[in-house]
Structure formats: structure tokens, C-alpha cells
């Protein structure tokens, strides 16, 4: 089995609230995290919300790093999505954890675009997707009947 990409989703808790509201610092940290991890930076875009919070993305040749912050809760959600095997996602993770002064980190990891055989999704996974679509249609149908 081969995957096209690797996705690490981080939840950073009890972070430095001032940093989480500083769009320039966040962009600086996200760009440096990408560089430190060995990524090739294409561009970046960051936005400061009023009254607080920052969202942004660093587009890399290997995919992206993204962040959304809630300074009022000391919380940041970070995605590190990479393709290939040249970027060390955990170097980026460790760097960001340190720079945002996160006291608690939850992480979720997943392979993206898993390929089987000749780029065909396994029958078991295909059936799972069809089952979800069927269940969704059934719920919608029942909702209309009960209306």
C-alpha cells in the first residue's frame, strides 16, 4: 500500500495568547517550521481577525502547513500535510510546539490518498464509501417523509 501524502493535525492547548494573536510572529514561525522540516516554500498568506485570531497557510511544493488560532482560549489548530518523503513533519511539530509555548498537544496522523494495486481503492473501502452514501440518502429520505 502506498500513500500520496501524510497529514498530521495538531491541537495545541495552553499556548502563549499574545503569540497566537500576532500575525507576523505566527507567519514567521510557520515559515521557519516549514524550512526547518526541509520543505520547499512556494508562498504564504496570513490574516489577522478582529478582535483576535489568526489564520494562515504556507504553501510548500510538498503540500502545505496551515494554522487557525483562538487566542482567547490559548488554542491553535495546525495542519502539516506533506507529499513524498523529504519533509520531516515532526520537526515542524516540535518547533511549533516550542514557539507557541503549548503545554498540551494532541496529534492525529493519517495517510492521504492510499493507493492499492494499480491505483485502485480496495473493494472493502469502496463498499464503505458506497454504504455511507446510501445511509446519507436514506436519512434524507426519512427526513422528507417526517416533514
Out of 83, 107, 122, 128, the active site residue is 83
In the annotation, is 15 catalytic?
Answer: no
Residue recorded with cell 427526513: 143
Residue tagged active-site, from 68, 101, 107, 122: 68
Q: Is 83 a catalytic residue?
A: yes
Q: At what angle do helices 23-36 and 89-99 cross, to 10 degrees?
A: 150
Picking from 98, 77, 104, 97, the residue whose alpha carbon sits closest to that of residue 11 is: 77
Give dist(CA 113, CA 13) in Å, integer.
Answer: 29
Tell me, yes or no, if 48 is annotated catalytic.
no
Which residues have a catalytic role annotated? 63, 68, 83
Amino acid at each position: 500500500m502506498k500513500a500520496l501524502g501524510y497529514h498530521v493535525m495538531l491541537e495545541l492547548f495552553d499556548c502563549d495568547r499574545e503569540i497566537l494573536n500576532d500575525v507576523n510572529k505566527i507567519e514567521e514561525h510557520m515559515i521557519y517550521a516549514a524550512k526547518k522540516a526541509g520543505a520547499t516554500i512556494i508562498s504564504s498568506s496570513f490574516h489577522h481577525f478582529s478582535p483576535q485570531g489568526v489564520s494562515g497557510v504556507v504553501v510548500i511544493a510538498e503540500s502545505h502547513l496551515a494554522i487557525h488560532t483562538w487566542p482567547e482560549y490559548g488554542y491553535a489548530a495546525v495542519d502539516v500535510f506533506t507529499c513524498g518523503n523529504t519533509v520531516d513533519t515532526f520537526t515542524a511539530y516540535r518547533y511549533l510546539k516550542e514557539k507557541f509555548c503549548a503545554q498540551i498537544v494532541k496529534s492525529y496522523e493519517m495517510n492521504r490518498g492510499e493507493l492499492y494495486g494499480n491505483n485502485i481503492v480496495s473493494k472493502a473501502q469502496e463498499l464503505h464509501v458506497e454504504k455511507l452514501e446510501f445511509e446519507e440518502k436514506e436519512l434524507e429520505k426519512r427526513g422528507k417523509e417526517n416533514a
